[in-house]
Structure 1
C-alpha cells in the first residue's frame, strides 16, 4: 500500500557464501544468482538476485533486481526492484514523484519501503519498486499489450543518438522489448520514422494513430514539473495496446527529481525548460492544438497540483514514516542531518519551480 501509515516491513535475502562472493566479484554482471527471500518472517520464496542500475552500481549501498524462481507470483508479482536511494538524501524522491504522477492521472508502478537484510545483516531502508511488465499490465487491465523499456539516453524518438549526436545505426537503439510481441518493435520503428519524416500537416493528422497524445502530454507536463532531466530520453516504458495499436508512456525511476540530479547535486529550479526535451515533444508542441492542450494541462498543474499546499502533506507523511528508520541505516551515518533538512529543500524547490514555470507560461502567452 502506498501509504506512510503502513509500517515498514522486513525483507531478508539468504544467499550462499559462494554465490554472495560471485555477486560481489563483478558489479556489472547482470546474470542473476540463486537466493531465498523471506517476507516479514512469513512468506518464503526461492528467487534470483542481481545488481541493477548504471552509476548506482558504484555506490557503497547497492540496488538490486530480484525475480522469483520459475516466475512464481507472490501477491501478483514475479519480479521487483530494490532501490537503495543512495544518492537521494531525502530517501523520498521516487515515492513522492509517483504519488504526484498518480495524482495527475498517470499509471505508475507500485512502491513500498522495506528494511532489507542479506543473510541477516541489515542493509538499510530500500524502496521496493514494481516492475513494468506483464504482471503490471494485468494488474492495471492493460492487456493485451507489449512493453518496451527505454534503457538509455538513445530512447529519444530521434534518428540521431542523444549520446554522441551521430546518426543511429539502428532506430531501436535505447529500447528493449520487455514483454509481448516482437512486432511491437517494428511498430516503434515505424513510429520513430513517422515522427522524424512526416510533414507538419501529416504529423498533426496522423500522430494519434501511434500515441495517445493527451496521455503523453500529461506525462510530459509531470516530468517537466518534477524536473527529471533524464526522464525525457530514459526512465520510461512504452506500452503498445494491441487493440488500438497506440503507445502509452509509463514513468519509471524518478529519484533525480525535486531539484537534485542523479548524483544528488542541487540543480536549481530553472534547469529544465518548460517544453522538456526529445524529438516527439518538440513536434507535438509545434502543433497549435497540441500546444494548447499542453498549456492547459500545465496551467492546471501549477494552479492546483504542483503546489506546496498540495504536496507538503505528502512530504510530511513520507518523512514521518522514514525518519525513525533512516537513523539506523548503516549507510546514512553522518548524513542524517542532511536527510532532516531535505523536506525544506523539496518544498522550496516546488515553490521556485512553480514560479519559474508560471513565468514561462506567461512569457510564451500560454496563460
Structure 2
C-alpha cells in the first residue's frame, strides 16, 4: 500500500548486551544509556522498560528520558507504547483526543515507527509525559502532580478488596511537588470524613468539579474499567487552587478490555464507580450537571458521525506500516476490521447511555 502521511521513524542505538539485559530482566527498573535519532535531531537518552503487564509481552514498551539535549519538542520524558493488546493500535490515541475534545487535559500522542539497533520493532504510540513541562507547554499554572500508580488510588480509605489502607495516600506517587503541596490529603479527607451537607458545600473549593465530571464522561463513554481507580493523574492548579484530573493508559477501551478481548457495551454503568464519583453523584446539583454534560457529549463527540472520520484518518495513517510490525503483520485482517468494530461499539454504547440518562437525571 502506498505510504500516505509518512509516519516518523525513531532510531535507537545502544550496546546489544544492554538491550538484551533490559529485555530479559523485565522487572528491573534500570535505565540504559542510548542514542535516539529522529528526522530532526540526534539525542543522548536514557531508556528503560515501562508498564506492568506490558513488560511480559514480546513487543516491549519504553520510557525515555532526554539527557543531551535536555528537551525534545519541549518534553523531557516520553513514553513509547507498544499497544500490544490493542488490535487497532489506535485506542489510546483515540481516547486522549476524545478527552481533549470534551474539555479534559490529556497527553498529546503520535504514532511512530521504532527501530532499535537497525531492527524494526513496529508501530508505537509516542505519549507525552504528564509533568511540569506538560503544564508549561500549555501555559498552565504550575502545580503539584500526583500519579495514580495502582488500584488503591480509588479515593477511599479501603483497598478494592476492602482492606484498610496503611496510609491515606496509598496508591499515589507524587510526580512533581510544588511548594510542599498537600492538596491530595485534603481531598481524600473531605471525601472520606465530611458529612453530606459539608461535602456538597466544600468539595468545589478543593476539586474542579465540572472538569472531574467531564473526565468521568470520558471514562464512562470509552468504558475503561481500570480508569476509575487507576490510569489517571491529578494536578493541583496553583492559580485556581483546585485539583484537576487527566487520563492515562486507555488501550483497553472502545469495546475491548485491557487484554484485547471483546467487552460488552453495557459493562460499565452510566454512573461509573469509585468513592469520589459516588459522593458527587449523590448531590443533586452535581448529578444534574453530569447529566447535562453527558447529554451534550452523546449528541456531539461520542457519535459515529463525529468519530468516523477521526478513526478512518488514524487507520489510514497506520495501515501502510502494519507489515513492518512483527506483532501485527499476521493480524492485518483483524486490524482492517477494527474501525467498524469501534464504530459499532460507539453506536451500541451511545444507545445504552441514552436509555439510562433520564433515570440518572431524575434519580
TM-score of the pair, normalised by structure 1: 0.95
CA distance in 2, matches of 1:71, 1:296: 47
Which secondary structure state, in structure 1, belongs to the residue aligned with residue 262 of structure 2?
coil
- Aligned match of 1:356 in 349, 352, 355? 352
Which residue does 2:290 correspond to in 1?
Answer: 294
- Cα deviation for residue 333 of structure 1 reads 2.8
Cα distance in 2, alignment partners of residues 134 and 316 from structure 1: 33
1:252 matched residue in structure 2: 248
In the TM superposition, 1:1-367 aligns within 5 A as 6-40=5-39, 42-69=40-67, 72-162=70-160, 164-181=161-178, 183-184=180-181, 186-366=182-362
How does the TM-score come out when normalised to structure 2? 0.96
Question: Following TM superposition, by how much is the alpha carbon of 1:334 offset from its aligned partner in structure 2, in angstroms?
Answer: 2.0
Deviation at 1:328, TM superposition (A): 2.1
Distance 1:31 1:13, change over 3 A: same
Segment of structure 1 superposing worse, 11-20 or 66-75: 66-75
In the alignment, the residues of structure 2 paired with residue 334 and residue 270 of structure 1 have an alpha-carbon distance, to the nearest angstrom, of 31
How much has 1:28 moved relative to structure 2? 1.1
Residue 182 (structure 1) shift = 7.0
Structure 1 runs of 4+ aligned residues shifted over 4 Å read none
Q: 2: distance between equivalents of 1:48 and 1:344?
A: 39
Q: Distance in 1 between matches of 2:5 and 2:127?
A: 16
Note if contact 1:295-1:366 (Cα within 8 Å) is conserved in structure 2. no
Alpha-carbon separation, structure 1, partners of 2:291 and 2:87: 33
Contact (CA 8 Å) 1:149, 1:177: kept in 2 or not? yes
Q: How many equivalent residue pairs?
A: 361
Contact 2:287 2:360 in 1 (8 A): no
RMSD over aligned Cα atoms:
1.6
- Measured after TM superposition, the shift of residue 7 of structure 1 is 2.5
In 2, distance between residues paired with 1:12 and 1:282? Answer: 47
Listed as ranges, the gaps of 5+ residues in structure 2 are none
Higher deviation after alignment, 91-100 or 173-182: 173-182
Q: Distance in 2 between matches of 1:328 and 1:228?
A: 29
Structure 1 residue runs of 5 or longer lacking an equivalent are none
CA displacement 1:239-289 (0-9 Å, x = unmatched): 011233210001112111101111001011000011111100000000000
In 2, Cα distance between equivalents of 1:100 and 1:328: 28
CA contact (8 A) 2:322 2:329 kept: no
Q: Distance in 2 between matches of 1:70 and 1:177?
A: 25
